[in-house]
Structure 1
């Protein structure tokens, strides 16, 4: 029997005293849910729903309290007397989060309502209905994560004024950030296959106590499909196949996954392949976004060719393959072993923003490609429960290995020299996390972590005329290492159901080492090696208080840090036309101090409001600034005189914002939901203050959604404010080639909106059809700081078949 579920559960039931068997259904798919545990308060009586989602509750007396639990998530207490004559109960989401469970706040399951920080969750049904092309698009659908794109094969999240290496990405609890995560826009998130994700958790705000360095602005947690064990003697087999097409980039995607479940062993296999052609932009918008011409390379050399359709962004297409294999072994009820293997690879994909730069009136680059972006991860997680240990009730050990490979290849127009730079990172990590209930009111979470990264980097110059290759400066010092050791502890105190206090501390020590001997043949640095050591103590404290059924207050204060990584200490690259970034061996960590106040209002589940305001101060900020090498402010890099720059602790920043979410339930089937975010911030640049680079314009969305039997529909609008020339940071105004021009000829980021419609129809128990029409009015727009224009009018069709 097909099994689909969401992680956000709440029970909405009325059952009858005459019922014998009840049936548990998923409210989004109306399908049976197996494995729901039903029991009384002392667990002396219990029953589990079978493969039809049914259970006999005659073992319970009429007024006996009955608890329902699914995947360790407590759903609701009912009595047999409350049972409705339909004999059905539904697992449903609840906007207020009363029954939602989150993992990322402590690495163990907690009620979302107890967490003083704001966490946005997307369930399996949310993801399937949104039907995103990439995991970056998945986060963008939340309305609280802003997505920048330099090219079609990309997506760089921004959260509350922070981006790239000031945000942390985790997959099944393992940190994805590595030693070469950069401060510029970062595209690694597309390596995560949205078809393999069961749910996401985005922590808005600092998460350094649990996750250490980089978690300044937020934590994006992706949790993949879990292998499902059989609850009977027979094999549990489930499978899904999806095909999808979208018109804006002629996307062709195929996906399949299947689950084999035995009593103690379970296996999940998943594979997705996508092919994307050049992206078409909208018809109505700034002419500066058009692609009037491009460079074509033939045997005769490079030529500038007129684009027959300037709405088509030549060249932006690419393809991608994602594979996942997971194995679960549970020899005993209190012990489990989980192994996960992930692999993602892309074709070469053009960095589109570099292809539209001009120099002296002519397109500058004949080619600018990222090589295949490869990501391999294997992780083993061992979980043990204990009712007798004085140290823990639950212990979780996670051992992981990751390998990242990326490269860059660029060649100037009519140049015979192709610059090639290749990088790889081996990343090892070990986490040991404990959960212990100290009393009925107090829980403790604590653990240790060790991370080690090794960086490999090479630089070459290829002469395409003579087919000869020579060595060149590499992007990073070859053989550099970055390691981190940490210990943390967090306390949760809940004296009554209305009040929760959580606080924690983490101590982190980070060491990075690099040898610049090879690159000194080209750069003539004043040092041959560097060793950077830094320690950080961070903390958090917050309360969640619900004085009534209507009100819930959240108050949280925290500190966070980011230690310099190899990208900060040792990178060599052209940051912008005419500038080159060089290594700096004199760096310290940057620290963030922030606070958040939140208020949730629930008026009888008819109207729900979620309000938040926050403030963050970033001290000793690592930023790119002008620099000198042995007194020289310019050097030759890739045959061009370039201004010397370096990452430095040369700034402070102040960021504040306000977020408001609304949901109106017109009936059990129809609701209106809206989210709006306002962000502001400045940072120091010398003796003046300038806008913070990754502070996005005001943005939000509004959805009118409903479910009518097998049909689910959503009419929604996305909207975005503008940033004037004076509101852009100087590093953005220098990239005028990606922006529209105002009346004075200055670059700016215009406001925009899109109208969209999506629908999902369950044709049969095994077949679901999903269709969307995005950007109905065919607007031509770019999200802030993006090099590539967003899709124009886009028709998406997907068919899912399940067994």
Structure 2
């Protein structure tokens, strides 16, 4: 490892020794020969590009020697890729008109290709698109992606569920590094604000080959917003108002780029009151507020690119327990969480002749505090009629209607520090082979400072070595790889609430994993993908060492220090077909998980709470997604989209797995009009989401009836003398439906999800 880092540093010092190249060319319409204005011409591997002028011409400077993939994309045209060997003469590129939406480069897979060229199916959505469809938070927005749901505790706490797997079985990546924030807990959210996130990519299925432990269920990869184009400066002011929660959100961004250096900064703040259900009741203590700061400094020259990013997020989130008196206050009541999350990352890329190094370094500090009921003072009720109706209730539960006292000590406080490194070497191409080899690792410590201990003080050290290769033919692409991982986990002994001791745990977990995929395509109209992959997950600290009452679930949990790795094997088949009028897809999977870890009741109770211990048994998850997108030519402004998703999870003993989302069908009708003298990029949509009965609950769950939610939105863009004003209005659950999601952690208490919600949004860009 030290030799790799030393070599990287030496190469960084000597980057000026390599040649600088310039690529010029022209992009034109293949049918008419007319120049294409404002087309993006981009080298994904180099992260350098340009836009075409009114004559279709472009120039990209400071390029190293070697062969690199060039991607050309423009609205109204099919994305185009070609291989360019530098130095090169001027090139001419013909792009084909198409009603198919413009493709983007996928970052979460190793070879940075367009989705249509990827061997592995990856879902990608721009955050701006999710927001304009009515997303309240990031965890709420990802549920619009087929096969992805969210495990929630109110609106402020949510985490991704990919094809029935969640928590430590789904990895979240941000700023190019794995996010570590005590994600094992059901009541732990993402701790990331959607402002300042450019796009989200989702790998559905085991991705341990690329990401190591915990990617057994998939990966949610968050791409930060890009810097400004060279020699430009941009400002943006955004604001959102949420009708249901009486909430608001504001964000201010500034970024500037020169020929070499780039800078970006964004600050955001959000505050929400308790949400209101379809029955008109506000769910006490679902309020939350959030402060977020994102900043970045980039540097790029011919053979080196560096990107330093920092994100600070402070979330103050109420933990709901029951419905009490209605209130529009925004300061959480006790119990509540106060979470500070710092993420610092440095991405270094060094380009050689036909090869490159990529070194990512990351540091994270997560401070999680929980405050319980200690001090009480009355809080104003918002409605006189509710005071009369709930007078006795308020007297009985007055302790809930108060804010925390300043300086009060947290009953639970954990500090989680994590250092990540990821070094990859992109080997020179040999014929049609592209190959990447690398090493990844993590050093992590957890320390307790509160009187309550959920998981012990611990140290985790892991590393993984992997190699993957891609082989390209005219109609076929193949990709495969192997990986070895080791995780060493050491914990300290601690005393439980009743004074008994939980012994220290010293474990080593090892795993070999592999993946193989094949893609067949015909003129990008028909694409078939078959992927076989294994993955693994080492047991987390909670599963190994718990011994106490989990207050959020009212059960006494006992860990098992002898648990083995979870190991899985998934088969995934995806078929796509498209022409100028329609796109259709079918994606099916089978995911066999050996030694699946779950809680099992013992039949005993401690202090009135039922006792559960962690056990293992083989499990199987299967299902898929199917859908289509109709955009009839020449009515390219008209879009009809439909998708259906299903997943079933079962243990080998015949029981069903918990927290498996119900089958759902989503239909969206939208219209888009790009042109206009004053109002441009106009759109409107109406969406109906049908969630079916979940009649296969886990052994601690009950069946959940289905429901249908109606949503709609409208928006436009206004040009104002060099600046742009974006306006949009969205409505979710327009019929004010009373319903409970199967993935809501408030379901056991009979607490409904959010009712009708209108969101008014405005952004001004300069």
TM-score band by shorter chain is 0.7 to 0.9
Give matches, 1:347-496, under 5 Å.
Answer: 347=316, 349-352=317-320, 354-355=321-322, 369-387=335-353, 393-411=355-373, 420-460=411-451, 473-478=452-457, 480-494=458-472, 496=473
**Cα distance 1:372–1:94, how it changes in 2: closer, same or farther (>3 A)?**
farther
Separation in 1 of the partners of 2:133 and 2:548?
Answer: 37
Q: Is residue 123 from structure 1 mapped to residue 149 from structure 2 by the alignment?
A: no
Separation in 2 of the partners of 1:77 and 1:730?
Answer: 51
What residue in structure 2 maps to residue 272 of structure 1?
268
Q: 1:611 offset after TM fit, Å?
A: 0.1
Q: Is residue 252 from structure 1 mapped to residue 248 from structure 2 by the alignment?
A: yes
Deviations 1:406-432 (A, max 9, x none): 233334988999992221200111110
Which structure 2 segments of 5+ residues have no match?
A: 1-26, 60-68, 83-89, 325-331, 375-395, 400-407
* Alignment partner of 2:527 out of 552, 557, 560: 552
Q: CA contact under 8 A between 1:344 and 1:374: conserved in structure 2?
A: yes
Q: Is residue 769 from structure 1 mapped to residue 727 from structure 2 by the alignment?
A: yes
Q: CA contact under 8 A between 1:143 and 1:700: conserved in structure 2?
A: no
SS of structure 1 residue aligned to 2:469 = strand
**Cα distance 1:315–1:565, how it changes in 2: closer, same or farther (>3 A)?**
closer
Q: 1:771 offset after TM fit, Å?
A: 0.8
Separation in 2 of the partners of 1:254 and 1:547?
Answer: 47
What residue in structure 2 maps to residue 699 of structure 1?
664
Q: CA contact under 8 A between 1:244 and 1:798: conserved in structure 2?
A: yes
Separation in 2 of the partners of 1:372 and 1:91?
Answer: 52
What residue in structure 2 maps to residue 679 of structure 1?
647
Q: CA contact under 8 A between 2:134 and 2:731: conserved in structure 1?
A: no
Q: Is residue 753 from structure 1 mapped to residue 721 from structure 2 by the alignment?
A: no
Deviations 1:612-670 (A, max 9, x none): 11101111111122469xxxx554xxxx344443333x222111102102111122211
Separation in 1 of the partners of 2:127 and 2:548?
Answer: 40
**Cα distance 1:317–1:611, how it changes in 2: closer, same or farther (>3 A)?**
same
Which structure 1 segments of 5+ residues have no match?
A: 1-10, 26-32, 39-45, 60-65, 84-88, 284-309, 358-365, 461-472, 734-747
Q: 1:149 offset after TM fit, Å?
A: 1.4
**Cα distance 1:671–1:338, how it changes in 2: closer, same or farther (>3 A)?**
same
Give matches, 1:56-75, under 5 Å.
Answer: 57=57, 69=72, 75=79
Deviations 1:436-455 (A, max 9, x none): 24323111122101101100
What residue in structure 2 maps to residue 720 of structure 1?
691
What residue in structure 1 maps to residue 145 of structure 2?
142
Q: What is the total number of aligned residue pairs between the two structures?
A: 665
What residue in structure 1 maps to residue 587 of structure 2?
612
RMSD: 3.3
What residue in structure 2 maps to residue 168 of structure 1?
171
Give matches, 1:219-234, under 5 Å.
Answer: 219-228=219-228, 230=230
What residue in structure 2 maps to residue 76 of structure 1?
80
What residue in structure 2 maps to residue 541 of structure 1?
516
TM-score using structure 2 length: 0.80
* Alignment partner of 2:495 out of 491, 498, 519: 519
Deviations 1:195-253 (A, max 9, x none): 211111101111110001111111000001122352xxxx5210111111110111111
**Cα distance 1:452–1:677, how it changes in 2: closer, same or farther (>3 A)?**
same
Deviations 1:487-527 (A, max 9, x none): 01111111x231011111110000111111x32684424x6
Separation in 1 of the partners of 2:211 and 2:619?
Answer: 22
* Alignment partner of 2:481 out of 504, 510, 516: 504
Q: 1:313 offset after TM fit, Å?
A: 1.6
Separation in 2 of the partners of 1:540 and 1:556?
Answer: 7
Separation in 1 of the partners of 2:672 and 2:569?
Answer: 43
Deviations 1:154-192 (A, max 9, x none): 1122111111111110002210145x431x535432x22
Separation in 2 of the partners of 1:91 and 1:174?
Answer: 37
Separation in 2 of the partners of 1:399 and 1:759?
Answer: 42
Separation in 1 of the partners of 2:699 and 2:283?
Answer: 27
Q: CA contact under 8 A between 1:148 and 1:783: conserved in structure 2?
A: no
Deviations 1:559-617 (A, max 9, x none): 11000222222234434665311343212111111101111112x22121110111011
**Cα distance 1:498–1:139, how it changes in 2: closer, same or farther (>3 A)?**
same
* Alignment partner of 2:576 out of 584, 600, 606: 600
Q: Is residue 103 from structure 1 mapped to residue 107 from structure 2 by the alignment?
A: yes
Q: CA contact under 8 A between 2:335 and 2:373: conserved in structure 1?
A: no
Q: Is residue 319 from structure 1 mapped to residue 289 from structure 2 by the alignment?
A: yes
Q: CA contact under 8 A between 1:226 and 1:326: conserved in structure 2?
A: no
What residue in structure 1 maps to residue 37 of structure 2?
23
Q: CA contact under 8 A between 2:643 and 2:665: conserved in structure 1?
A: yes
Separation in 2 of the partners of 1:774 and 1:523?
Answer: 49
SS of structure 2 residue aligned to 1:137 = helix
Q: Is residue 790 from structure 1 mapped to residue 761 from structure 2 by the alignment?
A: no
Separation in 2 of the partners of 1:37 and 1:383?
Answer: 17
**Cα distance 1:90–1:428, how it changes in 2: closer, same or farther (>3 A)?**
farther
SS of structure 1 residue aligned to 2:370 = strand
Q: CA contact under 8 A between 1:383 and 1:395: conserved in structure 2?
A: yes
SS of structure 2 residue aligned to 1:689 = coil
**Cα distance 1:131–1:90, how it changes in 2: closer, same or farther (>3 A)?**
farther
Separation in 2 of the partners of 1:418 and 1:732?
Answer: 35
What residue in structure 2 maps to residue 155 of structure 1?
158
Separation in 1 of the partners of 2:244 and 2:323?
Answer: 20
* Alignment partner of 1:585 out of 561, 566, 571: 561
Q: CA contact under 8 A between 1:165 and 1:177: conserved in structure 2?
A: no
**Cα distance 1:508–1:750, how it changes in 2: closer, same or farther (>3 A)?**
same
Q: CA contact under 8 A between 2:147 and 2:624: conserved in structure 1?
A: no
Q: CA contact under 8 A between 2:180 and 2:418: conserved in structure 1?
A: no
SS of structure 2 residue aligned to 1:373 = strand
Q: CA contact under 8 A between 1:487 and 1:507: conserved in structure 2?
A: yes
Separation in 2 of the partners of 1:420 and 1:81?
Answer: 66
Q: CA contact under 8 A between 1:510 and 1:535: conserved in structure 2?
A: yes
Q: CA contact under 8 A between 1:607 and 1:665: conserved in structure 2?
A: yes
TM-score using structure 1 length: 0.77
Separation in 2 of the partners of 1:535 and 1:269?
Answer: 41
